[in-house]
Chain A
Amino acid sequence: AQSVAQPEDQVNVAEGNPLTVKCTYSVSGNPYLFWYVQYPNRGLQFLLKYITGDNLVKGSYGFEAEFNKSQTSFHLKKPSALVSDSALYFCAVRDWSAGNMLTFGGGTRLMVKP
């Protein structure tokens, strides 16, 4: 089974509306979870992480994510989307069963329309 999954290839949202980019994980033990964003022709940029503590994690650029252990999810959210948020978003998890490597989801393209 895939360690981390992003079920949506693309998410479309209107500017000013809330956005959610979904991520589910499947690793044993306590997961270390991360969100990264990639703008065109750029490397990835770190947004936020969950290691331990509060289930609601706040990150860069107004993004936040909620760790839900029972649903094995770590969805990325933002209350009000900006056109400049349009990019490729990656969820990642430390997979202890796979040699402790950082495994990325397939990515979700977020399109925010004015």
Chain B
Amino acid sequence: KAGVTQTPRYLIKTRGQQVTLSCSPISGHRSVSWYQQTPGQGLQFLFEYFSETQRNKGNFPGRFSGRQFSNSRSEMNVSTLELGDSALYLCASSAGDPEYNEQFFGPGTRLTVL
């Protein structure tokens, strides 16, 4: 089975621009979660989707949004980029209920905001 894939792997943007990141979960997985990883803040939860419904949202501003499609693929969007948005964005999928099932992580998208 193919693992979680994220595209693009690397991205360079300038302040004020917007960006869309894509995540394809493992086949059959219906749950997708997104995390932001930075050296200063560590791993922070962004969103959790299950069967196209957003179940949880982390403490991030409204500039961060996401969605999940009927094929379980997910996208997250960041508008009006700020320097502090530079980070590794990780997507994870899980089979069944993500509350007690392990998550499988993709390699991440490294976003650099100049």
Task: Answer whether A and B are interacting partners.
Answer: yes
**B103 and A46: CB pair below 8 A?**
yes
Ordered nearest first, which 6 A-B pairs have the shortest CB separation? A43-B105, A46-B102, A104-B43, A44-B105, A101-B45, A51-B100
Q: List 8 A-B residue pairs with CB atoms under 8 Å apart, sorted by A's residue number.
A: A42-B107, A44-B92, A94-B100, A99-B56, A100-B55, A101-B48, A104-B35, A104-B43
CA distance A20 to B44 in the complex (A): 24
Instruction: Collect the chain B residues with CB atoms within 8 Å of residue A102's CB.
Output: 33, 45, 48, 98, 103
B13 within 8 A of partner (CB): no
Interface size on B (CB < 8 Å)? 24
What 16 additional pairs, Cβ within 8 angstroms, besides A101-B45, A101-B56?
A32-B99, A32-B100, A34-B102, A44-B105, A46-B103, A46-B104, A90-B43, A100-B56, A101-B58, A102-B48, A102-B103, A104-B42, A104-B45, A105-B42, A106-B42, A107-B43
| Shortest beta-carbon distance from A93 to chain B in Å | 12
**A45 and B105: CB pair below 8 A?**
yes
CA distance A106 to B37 in the complex (A): 10
Interface size on A (CB < 8 Å)? 22
- Which A residues from 7 to 52 make CB contacts under 8 A with B? 32, 34, 36, 41-46, 49, 51
B87 within 8 A of partner (CB): no
Known A32-B100, A51-B100; contact A43-B43, beta-carbon cutoff 8 A? no
- Interface residue from A45, A90, A100 paired with B99 (Cβ < 8 Å): A100
**B45 and A43: CB pair below 8 A?**
no
